Amino acid sequence: MSFEVGADEYWRFIGRYSEKLAVELADFAGVTAGSALDVGCGPGALTAVLVERLGISNVAAVDPSAPFVEAAQQRLPGVDIRLASAESLPFDDDSFDFVLAELVVHFMSDPIAGLREMARTTRPGGTIAACVWDYGGDTGALSPFWKVARTLDPGIDDESGLAGVREGQLAELFGSAGLRDVEASALTVSVDFSGFDEWWEPLTLGVGPAGAYVAGLDETTKARLRDACRASLPPGPFPISATAWAARGLA
């Protein structure tokens, strides 16, 4: 899935979560030295963490969205950031010590093919790591939204059926892609909101499945959903805790 929206909209939608989660994923993968590729880099949250740890010359990134590639290039000048999909990475075999994907595997058109490509570009003994939100267990970043939306529309096509979003699924995908010594974990971050409007507004920007769902509603139904979401959340400042399933394996 390609997010053909502006980088600013994407950042307002999920950026504060992804910046914190990027640190957790890099720690989980053991990124301290060497070279790394960020697959599905978006506007560059994980790429920036990798650059901070490894240096500009040791980091590359790809994304299938042209606006995201441009935004990441502007944010991180000098980093090799290319327009490409996970299923067809424009790098030679055995190119990187680490190949990571943050919040990407569940949107790949073919997750196993994408993971195999990640493994192909990883040096023997190198690490492949990824994470996806827990939408099967309802603790993902957007789970508070989807939970309310399902009560109003039981037949909704939410994100709970995407690849890897249920406990154990991501590790199973790693195994199916041929990765060795696969380990699974859960990564949790928390983001503070000043109030309901700050939480709701990003959902109206048309980003991802949730944004597309809101954008497709008529005004009456949208208002009903907004009011139900408001009633489900605290009235004042509140945190949203979000958990992602993570897996790592060796090439």
- Which of 194, 225, 248, 209 minimizes the C-alpha distance to 14? 209
Across the chain, mean pLDDT equals 95
Matching residue, tokens 């990003």: 202
3-state secondary structure of 119: helix
The domain spans of the chain are: 7-141+159-192+242-250
Q: Can you give the pLDDT at residue 41? A: 97
What mean pLDDT comes out for the span 84-106? 97
Share of residues in the chain with pLDDT > 90 (%): 92
Of 3.10.20.340, 2.60.120.260, 3.40.50.150, 3.30.70.260, the CATH number of 7-141+159-192+242-250 is 3.40.50.150
Q: Using a cut of 0.75, tell me whether the model's pTM lies above it.
A: yes
- Reply yes or no on whether the pLDDT at 2 is more than 60: no
Predicted confidence at residue 10, as pLDDT, reads 87
| Strand, coil or helix: 190 | strand
Average pLDDT over residues 138-166: 94
Q: Residue 119: pLDDT above 60?
A: yes
Residue 249 pLDDT class (50, 70, 90 cuts): very high
- 241 SS3 class: strand
